[in-house]
Amino acid sequence: MAKQRVVALEEHFWIPAMRDRFQGYHRGGAHQPSQKLEDLGALRLKDMDAAGIDVQVLSHNQPGAQVFDPETAVTLARAANDRLDEACRAHPTRFAGFAALPTPDPRAAADELERTVTRFGFKGAMVNGLTNGAFLDEKRFWPIFERAEALDVPIYLHPAIPHPAVIDTYFKDYKHGNYPILMGAVWGFTVETATAALRLLLSGVFDAYPRLKIILGHMGETIPFSLWRLEWTVNHLTGRSGFAQCFRDHFWITTSGNFSQPALLCSMMELGAERILFSVDYPFNSNEAGVEFVNRAPISAGDRERIFHVNATSLLKL
């Protein structure tokens, strides 16, 4: 029996020049595997081989360039993308890239997306959380979406540390050391990223750019589990129908860091297997655990193949 091809989409690295400028909670909690984030060679490939992962689509770790002033963001995003291009050229059959975008300067971000796609062959971009407190549905950011549609590449909406006011109001009371337990991957990441996606759905951006493609990690940041209620409530509040279908038409989701069989089956029922992409969230989660999760899922061989590589190959033109 031939080996199953496996493509993983949310697999992170960082460059010290950007990492060392992060302040406060952005410097990370108790779990920041620095050596693996910095490695774009032997160590990473060894971990991939041990789990049977053929390709990683690499992206800069959160919060990326989103938290800097425009000039700094442009400089650091370009540096991260140049470093990622080096890694992809060194291992062209094993690595692909999602660009880091300097969203504090939206026009420059659109240009950087085009530079990395046309010159480096990157497969899209990843945006980490809020841009200095702002959601991407603000129209000043729409040039990024316009360029993504023109280039026919997706934008991956990835979490980052929530807005300081949200941390202070919702999360500060329960801490592990100095780190609010609910702030990050436990809950805050999901709440803010799901909110970002829902705001896009209400903003009209998909009417303006009807071929725009968005990816969400962590099994859709809970949206597939709430899609019926979201549709029903939006319809009753506004008279507007089609909210759920707009999500199904424009979003793909990944398995990154959410290896739950009920969550996978729910997502397949709501979206279809063709909208689900394999991811690990390396190095924060285990490659082996991610692959085993899909291999053990009570799904057909065809759906397993779609999730492991067919959907990614189609969406990203691998």
pLDDT of residue 157: 98
Q: Which residue has the tokens 């899209």?
A: 124
- Looking at the DSSP bridge assignments, the partners of residue 57 are 96
Cα separation of 318 and 123, whole Å?
Answer: 8
Annotated active-site residue 281? The verdict is yes
Helices 106-120, 70-90: axis angle to 10 degrees equals: 10
Stretches in the chain below the pLDDT threshold 50 = 30
Predicted pLDDT at 30: 46
pLDDT at 34: 85
Query: Could you say which of 85, 105, 281, 303 is catalytic?
Result: 281
Beta carbons of 55 and 67 less than 8 angstroms apart: no
Structural domains of the chain, with CATH: 7-316 (3.20.20.140)
β partners of residue 12: 59
Give the per-residue pLDDT at 27. 63
pLDDT of residue 292: 98
